[in-house]
Amino acid sequence: MKLKLAILGSGKGSNCKAILEAIDEGRLDAEVVLVMADNPDAGILRLAKKYGVDTEVIPECRFRTKLDETVETKVAERIRKSEADLVVLAGYMRMVKSPMLKAFPGRIINIHPSLLPKFKGLEAWRQALEAGEKMTGCTVHYVDAGMDTGSVIARQEVPILDGDTPESLHARIQIAEHSLYPKTLANLAGKLMQGENEPGRKKS
């Protein structure tokens, strides 16, 4: 059985692309069953359509940093309907709140452009550069109620080079993300699917 993924994003979707490519190339035994975005113009939606994946636009909300509770409840229902095993945040720019956390406990993951627990929050690459670090990277982690505080699943280091600008560093981190996210998902797929196939264990 393949791991079914629902991907949530807000932007261009380069991580989503890396995941879809890994699936196409046989490096990741999974299926993307749904892509949702909170911005109707997000590149991630065009990309998903190109790959023949179902897409859905999340309706506008009052706050920029989170969804309205009623909207997030509907998002969780839509993901449940898709029968996704795992919710994958890929450039999703809002906090995940209790409707999603309750619906998918331990089943929401994110990729963040720093070596967590260092440099949580926005523009983490710029934070690392301004702090004078020599090394940063990216982290795949479980999502909890905090901002970038959930337990770490995997990290990949990226050096900060003399003369780096925020843009050059971010680009180098993204290359690492595109390798780390599919690899980490492949590991998780193995573990989760083994769990699902254990005798007596039913999908919740």
Distances in whole angstroms, Cα of residue 115 to Cα of each of 118, 134, 141, 162: 6, 12, 11, 19
Cβ neighbors of 149 (< 8 A, separation 6 or more) are 117, 120
For residue 196, the minimal CB distance to ligand GRF (Å) is: 27
Tokens read off for 32: 């993307």
**Which residue from 7, 14, 28, 127 is in contact with ligand GRF, where contact means CB under 6 A?**
14
**Are 86 and 28 in contact, with CB atoms under 8 Å apart?**
no
d(CA 71, CA 123): 27
Segment 139 to 198, residues that bind ligand GRF, using CB under 6 A = 174, 177
Interface with ligand GRF (CB under 6 A), residue total: 13
Between 107 and 112, name the residue whose CB sits nearer to ligand GRF.
112
Q: How far is the CB of 156 from ligand GRF (least distance, A)?
A: 11
Residue 38 binds ligand GRF (CB under 6 A): no
Given the complex with ligand GRF, which of 17 and 107 has the nearer CB atom? Answer: 17
Asked about 170 being catalytic, the answer comes back as no
Q: Specify which residues 56 forms β-bridges with.
A: 36
Residues 66-105 that bind ligand GRF (CB under 6 A): 90-91
Q: Which of 140, 139, 118 is nearest to 129 (CA)?
A: 118
Q: In the structure encoding, which two tokens stand for residue 167, read together? A: 């843009």
**Can residue 9 be called a binding residue for ligand GRF (CB under 6 A)?**
yes
Using CB under 6 A as the criterion, which residues of the chain lie in contact with ligand GRF when the complex forms?
Answer: 9, 11-15, 90-91, 111-113, 174, 177
